[in-house]
Amino acid sequence: LFETGIYVSSSSTNPTGQLYQISIGSLFMLELSRQGDKIIIEVDQDPFSASGEEYIGSFSLDTWTTLRIECYTMAEENGIEVPHLKLWIDNIISGDSTNYTGYGKSAPNDAGFTNVQIYTLVSASAECYFDNVYVRKLTKTYDAYDDSVWDDRN
């Protein structure tokens, strides 16, 4: 589980293009890009190529937004275990993805959700703030039909 408040300022941001990458362990890479007055979030199979991105949500510039990312290392789907990522934006489900790093090229790495890394790109010009960052190992199992925000802090 990775949860944070995020604020991206429009006055100091490139008008278009990729700004940040959020790496969830060795399983998922999220790319945050600006398109107009929105920040677009995509899950990327291969962060070194221009293909394999899957759109999973967006949020507005100049507004505090809460991102919640739940990562399930191995959830069974049609008899095969695959990693899943669920994204909530301001407590509303925005995306559910199996687009793990290396999808279609290699089996998922079951190293799991061991860390979160946030990168800015050298070409990016952006002023971004994070607040109330929270990281914790999930204790619940993946449920494709459960779109409620489940708070395991209690």
Q: For all residues of the chain together, what is the average pLDDT? A: 79
Reading the block at residue 42, the tokens are 């995509």
Dihedral (Cα; 18, 53, 40, 8), 10-degree rounding = -40
Only one residue has tokens 């990458």, namely: 21
Does the pTM of the predicted model rise above 0.85?
no
| Ranges assigned E (strand) in the chain | 2-9, 16-24, 28-35, 38-44, 53-60, 65-77, 80-89, 92-97, 116-120, 127-135
| Continuous H helices in the chain | none
> How far is the C-alpha of 6 from the C-alpha of 32, rounded, in Å?
12
Whether the pLDDT of residue 44 is over 50: the answer is yes
pLDDT in tens, 58-72: 999 999 999 999 887
pLDDT of 52 > 70? The answer is no
For residues 74-84, average pLDDT: 68
d(Cα 74, Cα 52) in Å, to the nearest integer?
21
